[in-house]
Amino acid sequence: MIEIQDLHKSYKMGHNSLHVLKGINFSVKEGELVSIMGSSGSGKSTLLNILGMLDEADSGSYTLDGLPIKNLNEKIAARYRNKFLGFIFQSFNLISYKSALDNVALPLYYQGVKRAERIDKAMAYLEKVGLAKWAGHLPNELSGGQKQRVAIARALASDPKVLLADEPTGALDTKTSYEVMDLIQGINDEGRTILVVTHEPDIANMTKRIVNLKDGLIIDDTKVEQVRALSNV
């Protein structure tokens, strides 16, 4: 599903440049649940943003579902992003003046789905994350865990091949984190490929494979016995 080879990325800062990714190689098969671990500043988000086509590497290759991702114009990149990828962020990134339902329906709007069908589908995804009753509420009327559930429903609405989650539990308390991880495990059980960036070992242990990032390189890539999130609650 994902294949990257010798990926490099530097940030330019005035006359200096910060070499963040120094030759990353890895691949992810369909249906995997992988965590990318590493301390703060190790380049996790940089890597995830490149995988999410929100940013581009300086060199190296990236193939997503057989398609080489390189020098795409923004229109095609946006189409690929919509078609292949769903995003979940630490800070939820919901639109504050739109209801939970309208937030979930938004990706469908960009896909050109008609309003009635958008609402039906968005409602089904809200049901899936257990929030049907909250459909009409604004984000600031929801708890952190509920907001992240809405964000997950929104990420699923476009039926992406890969879900990319950057510290999805970073803003949540422990119990709520495990509930969100239970949801993520359930979505992976259905066969969806998911990458989770986290600096928390407990969260990484709830995935099936841990990729450790340090000083711009992968220092460890290990399959683990998945801990079921709800066994912790």
**What does the binding site for ligand ADP look like in residue numbers (CB under 6 A)?**
11, 13, 18, 20, 38, 40-46
Residue for token pair 């994902």: 2
Cβ neighbors of 151 (< 8 A, separation 6 or more) are: 88, 89, 92, 93, 94, 103
Give the contact letters, 24-53, x = binds to Mg ion (CB under 5 A), - = no. Answer: --------------------xx--------
Contact between residue 160 and residue 86 where contact means Cβ atoms under 8 Å apart: yes
Of residues 42 and 169, the one with the C-beta less far from ligand ADP? 42
Of residues 51 and 206, the one with the C-beta less far from ligand ADP? 51
97 binds, among Mg ion, ligand ADP, none (CB under 5 to 8 A by kind): none
| Cα 74 to chain centroid, rounded | 20
Torsion angle in degrees (nearest 10) through CA of 56, 57, 58, 61: -120
Smallest distance, Å, CB 66 to ligand ADP?
A: 27
Paired sense of beta strands 162-166 and 193-198, if any: parallel
Of residues 45 and 177, the one with the C-beta less far from Mg ion? 45
> Residues in the chain, how many?
233
Identify the helix (H) or strand (E) that includes residue 217: strand 217-223
Of residues 46 and 169, the one with the C-beta less far from ligand ADP? 46
* Residue 165 CB neighbour total at 10 angstroms: 28
Smallest distance, Å, CB 133 to Mg ion?
A: 33
**How many residues lie near Mg ion (CB under 5 A)?**
2
Contact between residue 223 and residue 209 where contact means Cβ atoms under 8 Å apart: yes
Closest residue to Mg ion using C-beta atoms: 45
Of residues 36 and 183, the one with the C-beta less far from Mg ion? 36
42 binds, among ligand ADP, Mg ion, none (CB under 5 to 8 A by kind): ligand ADP
222 binds, among Mg ion, ligand ADP, none (CB under 5 to 8 A by kind): none
List interacting residues with Mg ion (CB under 5 A).
44-45
